[in-house]
């Protein structure tokens, strides 16, 4: 038996771990619960047993179904006792046990009796318990009492009924909605919290009805709510109304702004803060509107209460992202928060300062941060590193001190994610700030001398191989790289060998010495390292002679593998070992658009060393297999691109047809996917008659009819066109589905002998320029852009006319060109006035194309665009411009 | 969109991070082990901070946690990341002060466990299913404590011990204020 509850005594010398529940055990307590069945109830003892049961549940113990039922039934006996304290515990116990529907009936009458009792405390609690465990049918029985309770003069009873109403609205909305009148009355209650609960319930009842919400807000904002909580609710509802009416009132003052601004002078801090936050979150907030909100938040920054400081700095941090200048006034207060005891506040203060800081304050800021970095957790450090990176990009002149800071923290202790964030930042700075390159590379070299993470070492070695040879004195990196060959594990050694080879290929003066080093690697214990050394020695001309490295060797060493890795992996999996060697050219190049779920991942751009995330497996393989199995199309050559299916019929018509456009060098094949949705029909000899009169360059060469199309089993028919080789011909095609229809007896499923010829008009289909461009991403746009050179660059400016938003214009151009957006530049930050978008793709004939789009708002809604195209062929550069000009 | 302020959980832990009493109002933590993991995380993250004079605040896993310690008792209130921090702090203060009143100023783990029934009733009176019921510590403590005697019954019907207890309590409370 467990120890009984000992009432408080003054002897405090017992052992520290003493607990009244020491050694408590479920079985024993369940035994004790039998006292609930005694004819002479001892309220105090019963209370103690219930407390023990609740203690067990609270500690995570669970009761089996049988145990729970048994406890529940004996607890119901306790309604006989008149002891108030015991009754309270019974209420809590019943809620915790959450009885099943058939058990609820047992207590219903007792609870209903309490609900109509004269004791307010009984009424309030009985309502809460009953509403918690009840279902719809019982609810209609007690509805009358609940409506009365809502307007009860005792605020505790009214609140209990209103809060229960809020919960019940989720399960039985139709019943709760009938209480509107009572709830409306309760909104006028003099009791502060009743008004709060009534307001919450009333809004939830009416939230679908915008007009009603609008009315509610207008009437209440004229007065003042009685409790700070109700006032906070009102502020939230008001900002919702402002948000929803934003489109109608572009001109003049924002409705209800005065109310929000007035709330900034409320006496309760929670209301002041709620209003300030609401103002900062207004759509398209102006700096005049922001000022009063920023002023009160600034006062909070120097509050003695950490919660206020945190709330203020967190809100200001968000404001700094969109309106950095509005926050600069708070910089002095913010700087004193860097040394705040609360590290969350300090981190938020630092990142805000880094966003709002100006060039002259950078050095001072860095000094303060250095002291701070040593005593915060890695997750905070990553936030700081990212903020410093964007600061450096904003003030490139300050790269020296910022780069120094990064290299200092790189030397200190830290986990992988933190180190990776630093390395990524250094890499980005090297890429974007040419003056920072040499120091940055040396910092990375020093880091790999003592780096415990294989992943980071290999990534840095790879990066060194690309950037190192282009520096003024490439030889100084060789020592760092060759040291890796001695001191590291096989993965890093192999990476180092590849990097050495790249130096050898690019810097002729170093070649003989590199050969010596590579030859030493031939004796490595690991076969991958030996293989790589042998390969590079041979490709670079291992006879030791100083010869100019051939272009194809450079391409081999530096060219990016212009196929998505996932596609390569799939092709390799499908490849069956045979006499025929694996042909890398057979791997499809198309990057399939990523499913939405991946895009939703918080806007992390593929920056730094990581290549863009690989796309999911493609269906190109399947199309290619299908087409090559059809003899008429087998001679068309390699499939260049297959479009996504385009619907040619409305949803829910008799026949559903969609088309896939397959583009070959000299041909186009339309694949019509047909589905027969009429159970009483069998279609035979299905063809599509294509009228190409509006597509002059196309001539029909072949078609493949579909012999039979039974109900609900999709089939395909094909039509092939010839077009000029390698030319991106466009045109419009009108389609007519022609077939022989036969009646089917639904009972037997047999078709009649004779059929009738019939036709069915389909929607038109277009071949557009985007069909000739493959979405092929590049991992480093800047590198690709520069290595492409400006030989065939074409630049021009276009006016795109009025657009809803910048984002809409950007998407329209991306869709028009059908190219792959790089480095996450397809996402336009809200409220921005200009945007740069990077696209890459492969044009028909395997010509790489890179596009840099610069958008700007010109006037209220006019969007202007500067289009710069680089490609390997000037005709292609011109073609891209033509697409945009005509699109 | 849910606009009503809502509380995800209220935790009362001891100085080793063990439960004294906890109440979850949200489905974010389905199992007991998920709850325990959250409590451990909250405890380790906050144990080194000094939250004895003013309530402290932290943010992690997209939750905002406000907390306050006294002796070997650690009080926590958790809300969603978009919740008004000051509302959460008000709930915490209500809970903290109400427990102080109910334990008559002897706020430590032993006293809390010995009066666990009062603590559980206190949790029940502050928040109902995530909706804030009451934040005024005096009102909360008053509602919980009314049961130690029958508030409606006249003094003559109380036993001598009960009367003494009531008197002592009134005295302590007036001294505390």
Candidates A19, A58, A270; nearest CB to B86: A270
Q: Does the structure show a pLDDT above 90 at A341?
A: no
Contacts of B108 (CB under 8 A, 6+ apart): B71, B72, B73
Residue A298's pLDDT is 93
Cβ distance B50 to A341 less than 8 Å, yes or no, reads: yes
Cβ distance B89 to A307 less than 8 Å, yes or no, reads: yes
Helices and strands, number each (H, E), in chain A = 38, 17
Is the model more confident about B158 or about A642?
A642
Q: Report the residue of A19, A133, A237, A340 to disrupt the B interface, i.e. the one with the largest count of B CBs within 10 Å.
A: A19
Q: Does A59 touch chain B (CB under 8 A)?
A: yes
d(CA A440, CA A445): 9
Q: Does the structure show a pLDDT above 80 at A702?
A: yes
Give the bridge partners for B65, in sequence order.
B58, B78
Q: Does B129 touch chain A (CB under 8 A)?
A: yes
From chain B, the residues in CB contact with A29 under 8 A are none
Cβ distance A50 to B117 less than 8 Å, yes or no, reads: yes
Q: How far is CA A554 from CA A441, A466, A544, B83, in A?
A: 22, 11, 18, 57
Question: Is there a contact between B85 and B55 (Cβ–Cβ < 8 Å)?
Answer: no
Contacts of A113 (CB under 8 A, 6+ apart): none
pLDDT digits (tens, 9 = 90+) for A500-551: 888 888 887 888 888 888 888 888 888 888 888 888 888 877 554 555 556 6
Cβ distance A306 to B19 less than 8 Å, yes or no, reads: no
Shortest Cα–Cα distance, A532 to chain B (Å): 45
Taking CA–CA distances from B114, the nearest residue in chain A reads: A20
The tokens of A770 are what?
Answer: 């985007």
Q: Does B108 touch chain A (CB under 8 A)?
A: no
Shortest Cα–Cα distance, A627 to chain B (Å): 50
From chain A, the residues in CB contact with B44 under 8 A are none
How do strand A655-663 and strand A667-676 relate by DSSP bridges?
A: antiparallel
Shortest Cα–Cα distance, A567 to chain B (Å): 36
The label of the residue with tokens 């959980």 reads B9
Regions of chain B short of the pLDDT cut 50: 1, 148-158
Residue A553 CA to chain centroid, in angstroms? 41
Residue A252's pLDDT is 56
Candidates A18, A58, A237; nearest CB to B22: A58
Candidates A47, A132, A304; nearest CB to B54: A304
Candidates A54, A232, A342; nearest CB to B84: A232
How do strand A773-774 and strand A756-761 relate by DSSP bridges?
A: unpaired
- Nearest CA to A818 out of A755, A773, A767 is that of A773
Candidates B111, B117, B132; nearest CB to A229: B132
Mean pLDDT of the A741-749 span: 78
Q: What whole-number percentage of chain A has pLDDT above 70?
A: 90
Q: Does B84 touch chain A (CB under 8 A)?
A: yes
The tokens of A504 are what?
Answer: 């050898």
pLDDT level of residue A12 (50, 70, 90 thresholds) = very low
pLDDT digits (tens, 9 = 90+) for A387-426: 888 888 888 888 888 888 888 888 888 888 888 989 998 9
Question: Is there a contact between A739 and A657 (Cβ–Cβ < 8 Å)?
Answer: no
Cβ distance A60 to B36 less than 8 Å, yes or no, reads: yes
Residue A612's pLDDT is 39
Shortest Cα–Cα distance, B96 to chain A (Å): 15
What is the pLDDT of chain A when averaged over all its residues?
Answer: 82
pLDDT digits (tens, 9 = 90+) for A353-399: 888 877 777 887 888 787 777 767 777 788 888 888 888 888 888 88
- For every residue of A676-724, DSSP letters joined together read E--TTEEEEEEEEEEEEEE-TT-EEEEEE-EEEE-BT--EEEEEEEE--
Q: Does B131 touch chain A (CB under 8 A)?
A: yes
Q: Any idea of the CA torsion for A496, A498, A503, A509, to the nearest 10 degrees?
A: 100
pLDDT digits (tens, 9 = 90+) for A646-663: 888 887 778 888 888 888
Q: Does B3 touch chain A (CB under 8 A)?
A: yes
Cβ distance A273 to B133 less than 8 Å, yes or no, reads: no
Mean pLDDT of the A634-648 span: 81
Residue B91's pLDDT is 95
pLDDT level of residue A196 (50, 70, 90 thresholds) = very high
Cβ distance B150 to A84 less than 8 Å, yes or no, reads: yes
Question: Is there a contact between B128 and B135 (Cβ–Cβ < 8 Å)?
Answer: no
Question: Is there a contact between A674 and A714 (Cβ–Cβ < 8 Å)?
Answer: yes
From chain B, the residues in CB contact with A60 under 8 A are 19, 32, 35-36
Candidates B49, B85, B134; nearest CB to A193: B134
Shortest Cα–Cα distance, B175 to chain A (Å): 20
Q: Does the structure show a pLDDT above 50 at A724?
A: yes
Residue A553's pLDDT is 67
Contacts of A76 (CB under 8 A, 6+ apart): A106, A107, A110
Which of A:267-296 have CB within 8 Å of B?
269-270, 273-274, 277
pLDDT digits (tens, 9 = 90+) for A93-116: 999 887 777 788 888 888 888 888
From chain B, the residues in CB contact with A18 under 8 A are 110
Q: Report the residue of B1, B2, B4, B65 to disrupt the A interface, i.e. the one with the largest count of A CBs within 10 Å.
A: B4
pLDDT digits (tens, 9 = 90+) for A212-239: 888 888 888 887 778 899 999 999 999 8
Residue A600's pLDDT is 36
Residue B155's pLDDT is 42
Q: Does the structure show a pLDDT above 50 at A13?
A: no
A349 burial type by CB count under 10 A (0-12 exposed, 13-18 middle, 19+ buried): buried
- Return the DSSP state at A270: H
Instruction: Determine the 3-state secondary structure of B56 from DSSP.
Output: strand
Lowest mean pLDDT among A149-158, A683-692, B128-137: A683-692
Q: Does the structure show a pLDDT above 60 at A799?
A: yes
Angle CA A66–A68–A71, to nearest 5? 110
From chain A, the residues in CB contact with B5 under 8 A are 229, 232-233
Residue A548's pLDDT is 58
Candidates B36, B117, B131; nearest CB to A89: B117
What ipTM, to 2 d.p.?
Answer: 0.84
Is the model more confident about A434 or about B176?
A434
Mean pLDDT of the A467-489 span: 85
From chain B, the residues in CB contact with A159 under 8 A are 133-134
Residue B76's pLDDT is 96
d(CA A120, CA A153): 10
Cβ distance B128 to A47 less than 8 Å, yes or no, reads: no
Residue A700's pLDDT is 86
Residue B177's pLDDT is 56
Shortest Cα–Cα distance, B111 to chain A (Å): 8
Candidates B4, B36, B148; nearest CB to A233: B4
From chain A, the residues in CB contact with B151 under 8 A are 84, 121
Taking one residue from A and the other from B, the number of pairs with CB-CB distance under 8 angstroms is 144
Q: How many CB atoms lie within 10 A of CB A289?
A: 18
Instruction: Determine the 3-state secondary structure of B66 from DSSP.
Output: strand
């Amino acid at each position: 038996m467990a120890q009984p509850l000992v009432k408080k005594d003054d002897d405090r010398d017992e052992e520290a771990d003493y607990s009244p529940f020491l050694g408590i055990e479920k079985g024993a307590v369940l035994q004790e619960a039998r006292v609930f069945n005694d004819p002479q109830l001892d309220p105090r003892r019963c209370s103690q047993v219930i407390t023990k049961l609740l203690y067990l549940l609270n500690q995570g113990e669970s009761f089996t179904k049988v145990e729970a039922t048994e406890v529940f039934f004996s607890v119901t006996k306790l309604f006989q006792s008149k002891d108030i304290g015991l009754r309270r515990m019974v209420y809590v116990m019943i809620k915790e046990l959450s009885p099943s529907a058939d058990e609820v009936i047992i207590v219903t009458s007792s609870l209903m009796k309490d609900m109509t009792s004269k004791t307010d405390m009984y009424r309030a609690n009985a309502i809460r318990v009953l509403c918690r465990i009840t279902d719809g049918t019982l609810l209609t029985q007690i509805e009358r009492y609940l409506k009365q309770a809502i307007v009860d003069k005792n605020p505790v009873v009214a609140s209990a009924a209103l809060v229960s109403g809020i919960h019940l609205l989720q399960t039985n909305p139709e019943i709760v909605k009938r209480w509107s009148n009572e709830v409306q009355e309760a909104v006028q209650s003099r009791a502060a919290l009743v008004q709060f609960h009534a307001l919450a319930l009333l809004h939830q009842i009416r939230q679908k009805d915008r007009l009603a919400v609008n009315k509610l807000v207008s009437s209440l904002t004229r007065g003042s709510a009685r409790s700070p909580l109700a006032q906070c609710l009102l502020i939230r509802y008001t900002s919702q109304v402002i948000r929803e009416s934003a489109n109608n009132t572009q001109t003049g003052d924002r409705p209800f702004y005065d109310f929000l601004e007035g709330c900034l002078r409320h006496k309760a801090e929670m209301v002041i803060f709620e209003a300030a936050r609401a103002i900062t979150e207004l759509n398209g907030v102006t700096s005049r509107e922001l000022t009063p909100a920023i002023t009160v938040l600034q006062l909070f920054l120097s509050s003695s209460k950490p919660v206020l400081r945190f709330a203020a700095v967190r809100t200001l941090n968000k404001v700094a992202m969109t309106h950095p200048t509005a926050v600069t006034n708070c910089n002095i207060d913010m700087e004193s928060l860097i040394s705040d005891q609360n590290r969350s506040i300090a981190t938020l203060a630092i990142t805000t300062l880094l966003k709002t800081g100006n060039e002259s304050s950078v050095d001072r800021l860095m000094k303060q941060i250095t002291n701070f970095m040593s005593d915060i957790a890695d997750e905070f450090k990553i936030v700081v590193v990212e903020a410093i990176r964007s600061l450096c990009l904003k003030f490139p002149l300050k790269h020296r001190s910022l780069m120094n800071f990064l290299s200092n923290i790189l030397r200190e202790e830290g986990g992988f994610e933190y180190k990776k964030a630093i390395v990524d930042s250094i890499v980005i700075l090297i890429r974007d700030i040419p003056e920072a390159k040499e120091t940055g590379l040396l910092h990375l070299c020093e880091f790999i001398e003592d780096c415990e993470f294989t992943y980071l070492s290999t990534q840095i070695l790879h990066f060194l191989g690309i950037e190192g040879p282009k520096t003024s004195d490439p030889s100084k990196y060789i020592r760092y790289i060759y040291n890796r060959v001695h001191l590291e594990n096989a993965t890093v050694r192999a990476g180092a060998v590849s990097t050495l080879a790249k130096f050898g290929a690019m810097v002729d003066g170093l070649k003989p010495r590199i050969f010596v080093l590579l030859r030493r690697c031939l004796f490595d214990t690991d076969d991958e390292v030996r293989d790589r050394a042998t390969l590079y020695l041979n490709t670079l001309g291992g006879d030791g002679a100083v010869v100019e490295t051939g272009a194809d060797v450079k391409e081999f060493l530096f060219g990016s593998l212009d196929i998505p890795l996932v596609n390569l992996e799939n092709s390799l999996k499908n490849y069956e070992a045979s006499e025929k060697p694996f042909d890398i050219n057979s791997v499809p190049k198309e990057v399939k658009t990523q499913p939405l779920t991946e895009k939703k991942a918080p806007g992390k751009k593929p920056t730094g060393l990581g290549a863009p995330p690989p796309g999911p497996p493609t269906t190109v393989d399947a199309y290619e297999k299908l087409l090559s199995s059809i003899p008429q199309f087998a001679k068309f050559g390699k499939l260049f691109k297959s479009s996504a299916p385009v619907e040619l019929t409305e949803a829910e018509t008799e026949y559903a047809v969609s088309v896939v456009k397959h583009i070959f060098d000299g041909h186009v094949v339309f694949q019509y996917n047909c589905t027969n949705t009429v159970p009483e029909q069998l279609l035979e000899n299905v063809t599509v008659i294509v009228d190409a009169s509006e597509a002059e360059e196309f001539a029909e060469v072949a078609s493949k009819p579909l012999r039979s199309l039974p109900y609900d089993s999709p089939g395909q028919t094909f039509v092939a066109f010839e077009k000029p080789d390698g030319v991106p011909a466009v045109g419009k095609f009108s389609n007519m589905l022609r077939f022989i229809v036969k009646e089917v007896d639904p009972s037997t499923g047999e078709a009649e002998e004779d059929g009738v010829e019939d036709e069915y008009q389909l929607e038109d289909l277009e071949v557009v320029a985007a069909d000739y461009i493959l979405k092929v991403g590049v991992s480093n746009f800047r590198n690709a852009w520069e290595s492409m050179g400006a030989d065939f660059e074409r630049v021009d400016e276009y006016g795109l006319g009025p657009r809803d938003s910048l984002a809409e214009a950007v998407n329209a151009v991306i869709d028009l060109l059908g190219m792959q957006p790089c480095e996450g530049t397809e996402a336009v930050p809200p409220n921005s006035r200009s945007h740069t978008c990077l696209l890459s793709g492969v044009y028909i004939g395997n010509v790489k194309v890179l596009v840099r789009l610069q958008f700007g708002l010109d006037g209220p809604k006019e969007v202007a665009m500067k289009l710069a195209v680089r490609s390997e062929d000037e005709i292609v550069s011109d073609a891209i411009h033509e697409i945009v000009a005509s699109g | 969109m849910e606009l009503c302020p809502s509380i995800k959980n209220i935790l009362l832990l001891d100085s080793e991070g063990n439960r004294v009493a906890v109440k979850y109002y949200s489905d974010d933590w389905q199992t007991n082990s998920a709850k325990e993991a959250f409590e451990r995380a909250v405890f380790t993250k906050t144990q080194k901070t000094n939250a004895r004079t003013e309530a402290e605040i932290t943010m992690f896993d997209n939750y905002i946690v406000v907390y306050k310690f006294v002796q070997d008792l650690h009080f926590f209130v958790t809300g969603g990341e978009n919740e008004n921090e000051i509302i959460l702090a008000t709930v915490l203060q209500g809970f903290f002060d109400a427990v102080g009143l109910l334990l008559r100023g002897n706020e430590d783990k032993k006293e809390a466990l010995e009066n666990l029934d009062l603590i559980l009733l206190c949790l029940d009176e502050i928040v109902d299913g995530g909706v804030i019921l009451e934040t005024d510590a005096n009102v909360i403590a008053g509602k919980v404590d009314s049961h130690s005697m029958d508030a409606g019954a006249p003094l003559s019907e109380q036993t001598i011990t009960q009367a003494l207890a009531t008197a002592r309590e009134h005295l302590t409370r007036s001294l505390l204020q």
